[in-house]
Amino acid sequence: NKMYCEVIKAPWSSNSGRAVVCNNWLFAVSSVCSSFCESKFNFKKCKELCLSFIQDAMLQKQWKRAAEFLTFYVESLEKDFSREPVGASEIIWRIGSEILRHHPDSSVKEFNTFIEPMKTLSVKRYLKVCLEHAFYLLHNGLIDEAYQNLSLAESWRFGEQTVIQDKELKLIQAYLGLLDYYKWSKQKNILLEHGKYLSVEQEMHSCFRKAAVNLKEIIKIPGVWDQFVKCYVDMLEFYGDHNEARQVLNEYAYNPKFPANPNAHVYLYQFLKRHGESKKSLISVLKILHDIVPSHELMIDFNTMLQKSKKRKRRRLGLEVIFTALDYAGCKENVKAWSCLARQMKQIKHLAWIKQEWNSRKDWWPAFHFSHYLAKKNWQENESLSYEKALVGGCVLSENHQQFGKKVKIVTSLAAFFEMLPKPSGVSG
């Protein structure tokens, strides 16, 4: 659920180094020189060395050892690291959190005890630490505690820092919105199960109002807010505000300021489908999805829709869609995809279309889909897949293209199909 990923450079020069990824956070460690000369090891170098021991231990999941070395590292806090891009307090916060997340003897109580001083150590980082703390609590299923923490953080004010940390504040509010939605959703279930209770309804409505305000705010900011959008739309649909919901989803999918996000189109498509929108609007949404993620599983539905269309253009598009989907490894073993293609190929009257599509693929599809090895494997593992593939393969692989002129006969004999496959050197089928 992390909305950001930071790359932080270590305070020392990273002219040579390993990079360690730790909980979305990357830091580079320069290999500390190995020398017997003690005078080379001043305070700073000793702490660098200590840090490298900590990181080694963490990479090997030796949490006790990491904790041990951390005890020797923490005195760095007393040294002013203000010139460094990443100071001791940040390092200690992140490493300490990581150790406490994984250490067998750790507990939520331990974590809470640890995190409080971390918040105060740096005013500039206050909200960020609060946010991470809330994530930890959520991860451990402590929703109420997380909510309390986030509320507290939301009310924090510290002069211009509040302005500087605006992003974190918005995130905090967004998560509060999400948790309000969660509460709302629980109330909703009670309502659906037990019927109307005034108190429940009122509470539900107040949750909705709080959630709506925060969620609406955050999805205004260009970004990837899938979960937030879904929750917001869910609430809007429940209260019947379809217009608002549609507007939100449209914004999310089509606003050019927002990063290209296939999910946005999926959500929009699902919404439109739910509300019985016209084929035209559905197709236009899926078309965009096809452009962004040609291998998406919805492409199969798309093809099915297009196949049935009366319009030539759409049927043509359907063929293109399904071929493109099968270009990707994701659909290789998708029986439905192959059966769609097979079905369409049987129905198609315009052989030129198939030739067009096959033209750019004839060099590599045989090895990609129709190798001897794959054929055997498919046959052993999944007969229906094998069957559908054989149908398609039979069409495209046949030497005599004249056959296309007639109605393509179903190749019932798989042996014949096998005959068409490029033989591996030496071994016969």
Partner 1 sequence: MFTCSRAGRDFKERCAQCSEVNWGLTDGGRFYCRSCHNVTEKITEVANTDFTSNIRIQTVSKGLRKQGKTDGGCEWYVCEGFQFVLRKQAEALEALGVCPQMKDEVLWNFWRCYLQKTKQAYCDRPAGETVKPLSVCDSSTDVDSDPERLSLLYSSLSESEGDLQTDCSFVSSTSKVSESTSVHSRSGSVDGSLYLMKNPKEKLRMTMPMTLSFCYMALLWVRETMTLSELLRFVFEGHIPYLNVFQHFPEKMKLRGPDIKIFCVESWPSYEEVFNKMHELAAFLDLPRFPDITDSCFLHPDMLCMKYLMEANLPDEMHNWTCRVVKKTCIGEVDFLTLVPGNKSTRKVKYDVLAAAVIVVTTFCVLLISFTCSQPKMCMFYSDGPYFELKKWYKVLKCTLDVEQKKLDERRAKYLWRCEKPLFYSAKKKSKVLKRRQIVVNLQNQFGKLSGSVKPAEKPNPSSFQLSWSEENTDGSCFHGHSLKGILQEKRGLLTAMNPRYWLCTLKLCNEKLCGHLAHYGEADFPQSYHFVLRLFSFLLRIEPSYIHDEVCMIEHKLFNKKLRKKTKYKTGPRK
* Binding flag, residue 288, partner 1 (CB under 8 A): no
387-390 contacts at long range (C-beta below 8 A, 24 or more positions apart): 388/335, 388/338, 388/339, 388/341, 388/342, 389/338, 390/414, 390/417
* Binding flag, residue 98, partner 1 (CB under 8 A): no
Q: Which of residues 109-138 bind partner 1 (CB under 8 A)?
A: 110, 113-114, 117, 121
* Binding flag, residue 101, partner 1 (CB under 8 A): no
Instruction: Kindly tell me which of 106 and 270 has the beta carbon lying closer to partner 1.
Output: 106
* Residue of 71, 359, 400, 402 that binds partner 1 (CB under 8 A): 71
Kind of pairing between the strands at 25-30 and 17-22: antiparallel
Minimum distance from residue 276 beta carbon to partner 1 (Å): 59
* Binding flag, residue 99, partner 1 (CB under 8 A): yes
* Binding flag, residue 107, partner 1 (CB under 8 A): no
Q: Residue 335: is it exposed, middle or buried by C-beta count within 10 angstroms (0-12/13-18/19+)?
A: middle
Q: Which range touches partner 1 (CB under 8 A), out of 10-18, 50-58, 164-172, 281-289?
A: 50-58
* Residue of 5, 13, 59, 68 that binds partner 1 (CB under 8 A): 68
Q: Please give the torsion angle defined by the CA atoms of residues 400, 404, 406 and 412, in that order, rounded to the nearest 10 degrees.
A: 80
Tell me the per-residue interface mask from 18 to 37 with partner 1, x by CB under 8 A, - otherwise: ----------------xxxx
How far apart CA 104 and CA 360 sit, in angstroms, is 56
* Binding flag, residue 65, partner 1 (CB under 8 A): yes
* Binding flag, residue 181, partner 1 (CB under 8 A): no
* Binding flag, residue 359, partner 1 (CB under 8 A): no
* Binding flag, residue 72, partner 1 (CB under 8 A): yes
Instruction: Kindly tell me which of 92 and 286 has the beta carbon lying closer to partner 1.
Output: 92
Q: How far is CA 252 from the centre of its chain?
A: 16
Per the structure block, which two tokens stand in for 309?
């269309």
* Binding flag, residue 77, partner 1 (CB under 8 A): yes
* Binding flag, residue 291, partner 1 (CB under 8 A): no
Minimum distance from residue 107 beta carbon to partner 1 (Å): 11
* Residue of 10, 58, 67, 272 that binds partner 1 (CB under 8 A): 67
Instruction: Kindly tell me which of 1 and 71 has the beta carbon lying closer to partner 1.
Output: 71
Instruction: Kindly tell me which of 38 and 193 has the beta carbon lying closer to partner 1.
Output: 38
Number of shown-chain residues binding partner 1 (CB under 8 A): 42
Instruction: State the residues that interact with partner 1 by CB under 8 A.
Output: 34-46, 49-50, 52-53, 63-65, 67-72, 74-75, 77-78, 92, 96, 99-100, 103, 105-106, 110, 113-114, 117, 121
